[in-house]
Structure 1
């Protein structure tokens, strides 16, 4: 009797991590009269991380009214975990998809709503907070989130700033006297899969600013502001983290989380796999099926597929990646523990069609995988 483990990321906008496992289970039972199936929801710190961990660990979702990146009231959610911890996706409150195209300008966006989610978790007495900081619409150096927790960012006349991207250049001092004292009693983790520094050609403004609506002129303005802001941070905390890997994540929230919250930076996928005890789930497994919406050369850098494949490789378990789409650069995954790559879409068509038929295509791809696995078991 074959033993299979399903551990897929979500296919953004179409299939959740949990639903992927459900579909794989349906097809597996069609192929084998007897089969040992195990499944776990996983994510890498991006979209779907809260849902994956709440489902995997038996937590609960909490819904809170917060400010979106432009200051409008919205309802956002985060997860409370059974161990007294919380998992927060900053994209739920400060994410790019929350804004229309004409609202996307990192000079005018803030992470304040993310800070509100943290404050709510503190109100509920959590002792451990994990921040998944992918998908932000912001480039405020984390000022907004820290303002929501009591920090004040002052200009040359000691007037408090709103803490948006355009305010970076105006910060002259930081008042920490009103910072929420409970922060020091909580262990913070920042789940991050990028290693960009705070400033410079590979920094927050230059690399991610254009993705958030900034043109060349705005990028230059933000970079100048971030350099000025980083010097104020260094003066305030007595340490310069501007060149640290991950400091530039989420428009500088990575740097702020480390300095203001004492957070440690962790690989999102490695952290999630440890939380769900993935290595234990691999024991006795014949094949693991993982996947994500799109695979390319960047998938080897902290994404679900590469993280799962590495763990499988250590345990001698073949790992098959079932992906929504892929390009030729994705074949590098075959050098990093992935045994086979199978895309769901096999005909040319529009993205809209692929999304419309996502589950149907996923099931067909699963059938192709399991039919080949059956041949393999018969040969051996």
Structure 2
């Protein structure tokens, strides 16, 4: 058999690349003669760098120390692809996981993300691919643009503070020293399609998840609207509200916003890898009714159907409202006996899931 393993990350417990490798190890323990192809996936959030690194083994990780979302140093990396493209993700530089539960809705910033982008630009990359899922802040991208040379100023001609708090004081944007984008362009991978402001905007929808109370959401939305009046970009472009409005800031820098999962799949050669596959295994932490609405497993499953391959889903939990019609579904929670057990030793149960799927194919043979 030819088997393609293309899961998303199991957030908080196992990155996508490790999940793919562990499922494959379980499969190989039962069916060692099968061809197993690893294509870990992401949607622009956590695991974006790993997805590209697995698809391009000759890529180089470029270490960089940046200012994390709370102002503390963070050791991260950006990825240099063989064709000169630089890949940077917000998750590992300014991501919500870096807060370890200490949400700072007004203060968290995208400065570190911008510092990693600047490092890639200064290295001389030909183009940029930027993943902006799993962000910690609602700053409209002013932190990232500040790292690239912009100045955001209050009424007293002083630089505004970091985060959403800075938007509250914003009076002027000075882009005269902003570094130009690479000649090959800037592709921005988003995992949502929200506009910058309003009831579906960055502050209203995602602000509470990042620690903003009702008053903070209202002030951040006003601040984002103020930012929109100062920068030359359309705040209603789908994805402008991604990453707390960082999508909008990158639009103003010349970026092009695209859906993360499909673009990563295309860039890493997933459709070609699935051609001729007998089985495609995908998965994520929680497989539920929303998983069919554009999430990574739905995209992967769609490619598998087009190629005539069977589909399997491995998930930490499979909700009652999940549509598993025509899918071989394995729940780590059921395998382990409880959600706590599955999360405590996720890799063990991912391997067990690979073994179970392989054994089931053997029974079919």
> Which range, TM-score by smaller chain?
over 0.9
Q: CA RMSD in A?
A: 2.1
Structure scoring higher RCO (CA < 8 A, sep ≥ 6) equals 2
C-alpha distance 170-317 of structure 1, shift in aligned 2 (>3 A): same
2:213 is the counterpart of 1:215 = yes
Matching residue of 2:44: 45
Contact 1:106–1:140, Cα closer than 8 Å, also in 2: no
- Whether 2:332 is the aligned partner of 1:344: answer yes
Q: Tell me the residue number matched to 1:78.
A: 78
Deviation at 1:184, TM superposition (A): 5.1
Structure 1's 31 and 141: CA in aligned 2 closer, same or farther, altered over 3 A? same
Pick one of 201, 225, 237 that aligns with 1:227: 225
Once the 2 structures are TM-superposed, how far is the Cα of residue 271 of structure 1 from its aligned partner? Answer: 1.3
How far does residue 53 in structure 1 lie from its aligned partner after superposition? 1.0
**Match in the other structure for 1:23:** 22
Cα distance, 1:344 vs. partner? 1.6
**Offset at residue 55 of structure 1 (A):** 2.1
| Structure 1 residue aligned with 2:115 | 116
- Any idea what the Cα deviations from partners look like across 1:220-258, whole Å, max 9, x if unmatched? 22122222222222xxx2x5x222211111111001101
Please give the secondary structure, in 2, of the residue aligned with 1:321: strand
Contact 1:268–1:302 (8 Å) recurs in 2: no
- The aligned runs of 1:101-250 (5 Å cut-off) are 101-102=101-102, 104-181=103-180, 183=181, 185-233=183-231, 237=232, 239=233, 241-250=234-243
Q: 1:65 to 1:198 in 2, by over 3 A?
A: same
Q: Which of these residues, 244, 251, 265, is aligned with residue 244 of structure 2?
A: 251
Tell me the residue number matched to 1:95. Answer: 95
* Length-normalised TM-score, structure 2: 0.93
Alpha carbons of structure 1 residues 25 and 222: separation in structure 2 relative to 1, 3 Å: closer
Contiguous gaps of at least 5 residues in structure 1: none
How has the CA–CA distance of structure 1 residues 121 and 365 changed in structure 2, closer, same or farther, with 3 Å as cutoff?
same
Contact 1:193 1:301 in 2 (8 A): no
Q: How far apart in 1 are the matches of 2:98 and 2:20?
A: 28
2:258 paired with 1:270? no
Give the match's secondary structure for 1:292: strand
Mark the structure with the bigger radius of gyration: 1
The ranges of structure 1 where at least 4 consecutive aligned residues each deviate by more than 6 angstroms after the TM superposition are none
Aligned length: 364
- 2:281 paired with 1:289: yes
TM-score, normalization by structure 1 = 0.89
Between 12-21 and 69-78, the greater mean CA deviation after superposition: 12-21
